[in-house]
């Protein structure tokens, strides 16, 4: 694994690109570099909302993770307005009092408190950890 603070400082504000560096790419990079977990590529670039929801819902990788009731360091976070309608992802890290690192436009990779994301975007957050 690499040194966290330096890695996260270099990742913060990395530009979002829907094809080459979207929310899945950011979350996968964090999982790989900080936790040694290689996640498969989920081809979400160019997908409309419904197709992205379906890709997150039905991807075989979901079977290798279990939903947990409270976040722990390295938890994969799925976000959407309703259960089963998740369309965005990130990783919960304990640094900074517990924040979700995720990539979006126009900010690039950012870290937000879960409550801020839930309230400002009206998202339901679910936390997942490898089985």
3-state DSSP assignment of residue 103: strand
pTM, entire model: 0.92
Q: CATH number for the domain including 10?
A: 3.90.1720.10
Evaluate if residue 59 carries a pLDDT over 90: no
Domain tally for the chain? 1
The mean-pLDDT minimum among 8-22, 42-56, 74-88, 115-129 falls in 42-56
Domain that holds residue 94: 4-130
- In angstroms, the Cα distances linking 105 to 40, 45, 51, 63, 71 are 23, 13, 19, 29, 24
pLDDT at 1 (0 to 100)? 62
pLDDT at 28 (0 to 100)? 94
Evaluate if residue 105 carries a pLDDT over 90: no
CA distance 41 to 38: 9
The mean-pLDDT minimum among 63-67, 82-86, 110-114 falls in 82-86
- Closest among 105, 59, 96 to 78, alpha carbons compared: 59
């Amino acid at each position: 694994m690499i040194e966290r603070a330096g890695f996260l400082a270099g990742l913060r504000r990395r530009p979002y690109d829907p094809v080459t560096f979207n929310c899945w790419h950011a979350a996968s990079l964090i999982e790989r570099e900080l936790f040694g977990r290689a996640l498969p590529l989920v081809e979400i670039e160019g997908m409309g909302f419904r197709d992205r929801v379906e890709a997150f819902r039905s991807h075989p990788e979901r079977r290798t993770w279990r939903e947990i009731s409270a976040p722990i360091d390295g938890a994969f976070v799925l976000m959407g307005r309703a259960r089963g309608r998740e369309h965005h992802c990130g990783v919960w890290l304990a640094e900074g009092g517990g924040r979700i690192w995720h990539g979006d436009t126009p900010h690039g990779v950012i870290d937000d408190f879960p409550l801020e994301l839930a309230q400002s975007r009206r998202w339901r957050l679910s936390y997942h950890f490898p089985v």
